[in-house]
Amino acid sequence: MSPYLYILVMAGVTYLVRALPLTLIRRRFKSPFLRSFLYYMPYVTLSVMTFPAILSETGSVVSAAVAFAVMIVLSFRTRSLILVAACACAAVFLVEMIPGVVPALQP
């Protein structure tokens, strides 16, 4: 099979998933439950995709938990994404500098 066929099929499926709701649903939703569900859906999806990566990408679960706690506190206080990300990275770095937190790498 040609890679161009794969790209064409992928583009068609992506277009259908995005275009069908716009063409089939023309009126606003009146249900408060459905409106709030659709409003919070991007945040929930981002959280579900990000949380496992937070716990698995560091050297240990301890440093990941500390970084997660730093992220939660700073995100409620400052609401600056750059500051939160930088402080979480610094927290992981500092925790992993403590001897005994991260197991030594085997050669």
pLDDT tens for residues 15-51? 988 888 878 887 888 888 888 888 888 888 888 888 8
Q: Confirm whether 105 is domain-assigned.
A: no
Q: Confirm whether 42 is domain-assigned.
A: yes
Which residue has better confidence, 65 or 26?
65
pTM of this structure: 0.58
Q: Tell me which DSSP letter residue 57 carries.
A: S
Q: Confirm whether 81 is domain-assigned.
A: yes
Q: Confirm whether 106 is domain-assigned.
A: no
Q: Confirm whether 104 is domain-assigned.
A: no
Q: Confirm whether 103 is domain-assigned.
A: no
Overall domain count for the chain: 1
Q: Can you tell me which residue has the tokens 């085997």?
A: 106
Domain residues for the domain of 32 are 3-97
**CA-to-CA separations, 103 to 10, 16, 56, in angstroms, rounded:** 43, 48, 15
